[in-house]
Amino acid sequence: MAKEKKLVEEITSMDTDFAKWYTDIVLKAELVDYTSVKGCLVIRPAGYAIWENMKNEIDRRFKETGIENCYLPMFIPESLLQKEADHVEGFAPEVAWVTYGGMEKLDERLCVRPTSETLFCDYYSRVVKSYRDLPQLLNQWCSVVRWEKTTRPFLRSREFLWQEGHTVHATAKEAHDRTVQMLEVYADFFEKDLAIPVIRGIKTDKEKFAGAEATYTIEALMHDGKALQSGTSHYFGDGFAKAFNVTFTDKDNQIKPVFETSFGMTTRIIGAVIMVHGDNSGLKLPPHIAPVQVNIIPVAAHKEGVLDAANALYDRLKAAGIRVKLDDSEKSPGFKFAESEMRGIPLRIEIGPKDIENNQCVFVRRDTGEKSFVSLDNVESDAKECLENIQTNMYETALAHRDAHTYEARTMEEFKDIADNKPGFIKAMWCGERACEDKIKEVAGATSRCMPEAQEQISDVCVCCGKKAKKMVYWGKAY
C-alpha cells in the first residue's frame, strides 16, 4: 500500500498546478518521453496505441465519405511555398529549412513541411485535366514540423503527427459542402468516441487558416476552463487553384479553376482526452479508444485456482472482442489497482478465491469508482454493457462541466470579470470589427474561439463597442 500511495502522490493535484498535473500524467502513464531536441518527443507504446485507435476511427469515417489515403514528400521547395502569399506569410515564423544535402549547399532551400497545401496543389495541377478527374478526395497521415518557441507534450510540439485532407472540386458548392461535411466527421468522432462535447462554428477572419476563405472549427473545453481548438476544416475557394494553375476543362469546354478544401486533426487530441477526463489519480480513457478496455487483476493469485480462473476470464473476454489485459505480475494487488487507475483503463475486474466460490467477479469502473459483483455466467455481455455505460457517462460528465463553465456577458466590464474569475467559455455579441476583437484580447486576455452554427441573441449590441452586433461569438482563453 505504501507503493500504491507513492504512485498517486507522484501526480500533482490538478487544483494545485494544472500544468504540472498534466505533465506528470503524460510521463507517469508512459505516454511520452523527452529527447535531446526540444519539442520533439518519443511517443511511447502506451501513447501511440491511443493514437492508433483514434487514427483507425477517424480513417474509417473518412473512407466512408470517399476519401482515399496517399503520401506526399516532407520537403517543399521554397519557390513552391512562395506561390501563395497569405499562406507563406502565415507559416513563415514556424518553418524549418534544409539548406545542405550532405556536404553540399542546396541551390534552393527546402522547407520541412508545416502543412502540405502547396504540395497537393502542385500534384493536382498535373493530374487534374478534365471535369472527369474531379473530385479528388485525398488524405495523408504523416508528421509535420513547426518551430514552436514554447512546447508542451501533445499540445504544442515542434514535430507532431496528424492527418491532412486536401480535396478539389468542380464547383464552389461542392467544396463548401465537403468542408462542412468533414467538420461534422470530426465532431462525431469527438463526441461518440472521445466522449468530448464540442462547439461547432466558423473562425473569425483574424483566426482563420492562412490562405483560407473560411475556417470551420470544433472547440472543446478543458477541465481547467481553457479552450482547445480540436479540429479544423478549411474552404479555400479558388485562391490556391489560381496561384498554382490547378484548372480543368468543364463540360461546356471552358477552362476553369478548381475549388479546394483542407482539413486536419493532430496528436494534440490526446492532450484533449487527458485534460477533459483525467483526475488526480491519472488518466481516464473513453472505452472506445482505450488500448486496454478491461484489466483483470487476480487477488490472492498464489492460491489454488485463482490464476486459472483469471486466465479463463481473459480468454472469454478476448474472444468476445474486448481489448483485455491480465495483470499476473508479482506486484501487490493494491499497486496494480493504483496503476490501472493511473493508466486510465476503463474497467477493472478483480477475481479471488471467494469470488470463484460464488461464481462471480468484481467490476470497478474507472469513471465513477463504483464497485459491483457480477456473475461469471454473463460476464462478456455485462462487460460490454458496462463499457458503453462508462462511455456515455464520460460524455455526459464532460458536457455538464462545459455547460457549468459557459457564461454570458453583455458589457465589457462583465466580460472582463468573468474572464478574470470564472475560467470557461464566454458567449458575447460582436460587431464584426477586428478592432473590437483585438481590444477584447488586450483587455480580457480572451480570443474568439468561433461563431457557432446555433446563433443566440444575447443582446443587440457588441460587448466591446456598443454598436449593432452581427454575431454571437464564443470567447475564451485557449491552449
The CATH number for 431's domain is 3.30.110.30
Examine the domain organization and report whether 271 and 298 are in the same domain. Answer: no
What does the pLDDT read at residue 44?
98
Examine the domain organization and report whether 424 and 459 are in the same domain. Answer: yes
Phi then psi dihedrals of residue 410, to 5 deg: -110, -20
Alpha-carbon torsion angle 417, 418, 421, 425, nearest 10: -160
What does the pLDDT read at residue 291?
98
Domain boundary among 324, 359, 389: 389
Range of the domain at 38: 18-75+116-277
What does the pLDDT read at residue 211?
86
446 inside domain: yes
CA pair distance 428, 415, nearest whole angstrom: 8
CB atoms < 10 A from the CB of 278, how many?
23
Domain boundary among 277, 310, 332: 277
Residues 239-266 have pLDDT tens digits of 999 999 999 999 999 999 999 999 999 9
395 inside domain: no
Instruction: Give the CATH number, domain containing residue 300.
Output: 3.40.50.800
Residues 89-100 have pLDDT tens digits of 777 788 999 999
431 inside domain: yes
Instruction: Give the CATH number, domain containing residue 183.
Output: 3.30.930.10
Examine the domain organization and report whether 215 and 311 are in the same domain. Answer: no
Asked if 369 contacts 409 with a C-beta cutoff of 8 angstroms, the reply is no
Number of domains in the chain: 3
What does the pLDDT read at residue 6?
52
Examine the domain organization and report whether 121 and 251 are in the same domain. Answer: yes
Examine the domain organization and report whether 311 and 261 are in the same domain. Answer: no
Examine the domain organization and report whether 252 and 310 are in the same domain. Answer: no
CA pair distance 234, 216, nearest whole angstrom: 6
CA pair distance 145, 113, nearest whole angstrom: 6
What does the pLDDT read at residue 2?
45
Domain boundary among 364, 389, 414: 389
Closest CA to 235 of 278, 183, 191: 183
Task: Produce one character per residue of 51-69: b if its CB has 16 or more CB atoms within 10 Å, e if not.
Answer: bebbbebbeebbeeeebee
307 inside domain: yes
Examine the domain organization and report whether 67 and 210 are in the same domain. Answer: yes
What does the pLDDT read at residue 301?
86
Q: Which amino acid is at 470?
A: K
Asked if 276 contacts 193 with a C-beta cutoff of 8 angstroms, the reply is no
470, three cell numbers: 452581427
Q: What sign has the CA pseudo-torsion 133, 138, 143, 145? A: positive
Examine the domain organization and report whether 50 and 191 are in the same domain. Answer: yes
The secondary structure element, H or E, covering residue 134 is none
161 inside domain: yes
Examine the domain organization and report whether 300 and 230 are in the same domain. Answer: no
Examine the domain organization and report whether 427 and 306 are in the same domain. Answer: no
Examine the domain organization and report whether 251 and 186 are in the same domain. Answer: yes
97 inside domain: no
Helices (H), 220-305: 239-244, 268-277
Crossing angle of helices 2-9 and 333-342, in 10° steps, is 20
CA pair distance 365, 345, nearest whole angstrom: 9
Q: How far is CA 168 from the centre of its chain?
A: 25
460 inside domain: yes
Instruction: Judge residue 411's burial from the number of C-beta atoms within 10 Å of its C-beta, 0-12 exposed, 13-18 middle, 19 or more buried.
Output: middle
Spans of the chain, pLDDT less than 50: 1-3
110 inside domain: no
Examine the domain organization and report whether 232 and 200 are in the same domain. Answer: yes
